[in-house]
Amino acid sequence: MQQVAAGEIGGLETLYDRYHAAAYALALRITSETGMAEDVVQDAFLGLWRNAGRYAELKGSVRGWLLAIVRHRAIDTLRRRKTGMALGDDADAILPAALTIPDPWPEVAGRLEAEQVRRALTVLPPAQREVIELAYFDGLTQREIAARTNAPLGTVKSRMRLGLVALRAALGPSAERAAPGDAAAMRTARLAGGKGTL
């Protein structure tokens, strides 16, 4: 990353070789269109390239930072396409909100396999998984999710909280000894949310 910050293309090549597949998979999952996903990945790496100097100010893994940019850019692209707005010239200068949140488990996340994460998602109650996926991959707000799912806004908020807590319990350090989606972890998550029926 220091190489990238110093303007060395070789550093960017290294990062691209390491993370391009994850970046493209995420962009494709969000946009559902290869051409758009390719643009997003290119914009994301260019954003990383241009803002590498700021990386030191942020806490977290390079992968987490890059993927946050990918997600932000992909959702931004979708939103602007829906509203007919042209892509902003300065859109990739805007740091995603997630980048302001320190990533506490970059190393743990690095060790986790994508398959483990997918398994953890599948054991979430469908309603909780749905709101998380609509928010994360479709970029919908809680209000939009409520409208989409015909659920009360309060329910959407609760499902979102419970789902995130459950995922954290399944994937986080406290759940490392348990398999992702461990029933005890899920029960803990439900209790933490106060409702076990959502």
Q: 55 is written with which tokens?
A: 């990386």
Per-residue b or e along 24-42, where b marks 16 or more CB atoms closer than 10 Å to that residue's CB:
bebbbbbbeeeebbebbbe
* Residue of 95, 123, 178, 179 that binds other proteins (CB under 8 A): 95
Q: Provide the minimum distance between the beta carbon of 47 and other proteins in the complex, in angstroms, as a whole number.
A: 8
Q: Provide the minimum distance between the beta carbon of 80 and other proteins in the complex, in angstroms, as a whole number.
A: 8
* Residue of 1, 3, 14, 24 that binds other proteins (CB under 8 A): 24
Q: Provide the minimum distance between the beta carbon of 91 and other proteins in the complex, in angstroms, as a whole number.
A: 6
Contacts to other proteins from residues 131-190, by CB under 8 A: 132, 135-137, 139-143, 145, 157, 160-161, 164-165, 167-168, 171-172
Amino acid at 111: R
* Residue of 2, 18, 56, 88 that binds other proteins (CB under 8 A): 88
Closest listed residue to residue 96, CA positions, set 124, 65, 117, 61? 65
**106 scored as a contact of other proteins (CB under 8 A):** yes
User: Total binding residues for other proteins by CB under 8 A?
Assistant: 82
**25 scored as a contact of other proteins (CB under 8 A):** yes
